[in-house]
Each structure stands twice: as C-alpha cells, then as structure tokens.
Amino acid sequence: MKTLLIKENIKYEGWQLCPHWIYKNFKIQGDSIVAFLGECEVKLTEMVDIEDVINNEPIYSKSMLSFISEQFNVGLVEGVFRQRLLICTIKEVLESRGFKIVRDGDDLFYDGKKLTVSIATKSMTSILIHTGINIDSTGAPVKASGLTSELGIKDINEFALEVMDRYSKEIDDIIMASTKVRGV
C-alpha cells in the first residue's frame, strides 16, 4: 500500500471520499492512504453515514488530521474490517505514547471525549475510508478531545507518518500471509 503525507492544508468536506480522488489529485494509483491537515466540515448533504443524516449530526472540526484510503478488489464488509484496523492502529500509536484511549466500534475516545470520526463505504471500483482525528477540539458539536489541545501532541505530521506506515505494513503483511498457506 502506498502512503503520502500531503503538505498543503485541505478542508475536508466529504466530497473527497470518492473513487480515484487520490489518483486524480496526487498521481498515486492503486491501494493507498494519504494524510492531510485542515478544517473539517461535512454537511448533511455530503454525509455517507445515513445514521448521522437521520440524527441530524453534521461533522465539524476547526483543525483535523484526516486520512483517506482507497483500496481495490475488496468488498464492503472487508472494507469495514480495514477501517477498524486503521482505528486500532491509531489507538496503538497513541497508547505507545502513554495515552489511555478507549475504542467503541470505529470511534476513539480520550478522557470520555470523542477523538475521531470515521466511515467506510464502497464505490463501483473500490472501498473508501475516511478517518479524522481532531487536532483542536474547539467548536466541535460534541464533547471532543484533540491531539494537540488535550493530548499535547505537537508534531502531527510525524504522528500521521507513523500511523500510515504501521497501517500500510499491516495491510501488506495480511495480503502476504494469505499467499503462504496451502488450501485444505
């Protein structure tokens, strides 16, 4: 799996979760994950999560670290497993830095406050994952925590690189592990 830390800030609005967004904008073809910083504002009209639409829960973060991943030849259920693996990877990286993080499904919490948003969906050609981690929790519509505001993490780019490196190696290792067994 290919990785890229995008240097420029991008406001995540939900429409970026579409087939080949990474390929069209960053010339990375195939299974990939990218990370970028920026404001996050997903209005109900751009929501993929129907439950959030029904509950009238748009997403907002003044400053968020976003990950977008596109992976091919994968069904939606496996895509959700891969989304959860990304969430678990983020949790592991934070815990390796001494933070007590609680996972509930595809959400992470620090000190009882929501740290992440995440969704997995399927396009005609791939599965798409967006996971966002608050950097600054100011102005969030729910009780939220942030990487810098509450956890005190200063080097967000280094954190993003570590998450992507671990996640891409895990996915690659899973695929390789599937090639070394004989059928029974």
Residue range 62-96, pLDDT digits in tens: 999 999 999 999 999 999 999 999 999 999 999 99
DSSP bridge pairs for 68: 34, 130
∠ CA 75-28-147, rounded to 5°: 80
What pLDDT is stored for residue 118 in this prediction? 97
Q: How far is the C-alpha of 125 from the C-alpha of 28, rounded, in Å? A: 15
Q: How far is the C-alpha of 152 from the C-alpha of 24, rounded, in Å? A: 35
What's the whole-number mean pLDDT along residues 3-7? 98
How many C-beta atoms surround the C-beta of residue 32 within 10 A? 20
Letter string b/e over residues 143-156, b meaning 16 or more CB atoms within 10 A of that residue's CB: ebbbbbbbbebeeb
What pLDDT is stored for residue 141 in this prediction? 85
The domains of the chain are located at: 2-168
How many C-beta atoms surround the C-beta of residue 183 within 10 A? 3
Model confidence band, residue 56 (pLDDT cutoffs 50, 70, 90): confident
Task: Enter the DSSP assignment of 70.
Answer: E
Q: Is the dihedral of CA 35, 152, 60, 120 positive or negative?
A: positive
Assess contact for 87 and 166: CB atoms under 8 A. Answer: no
Q: List pLDDT tens digits, range 124-180.
A: 999 999 999 999 988 888 899 999 999 999 999 999 999 999 999 999 999 999 999
∠ CA 64-12-75, rounded to 5°: 105
What CATH class is the domain 2-168?
Answer: alpha beta
Model confidence band, residue 58 (pLDDT cutoffs 50, 70, 90): confident
**Residue 47 pLDDT > 90:** no
Q: What is the pTM of this model?
A: 0.95
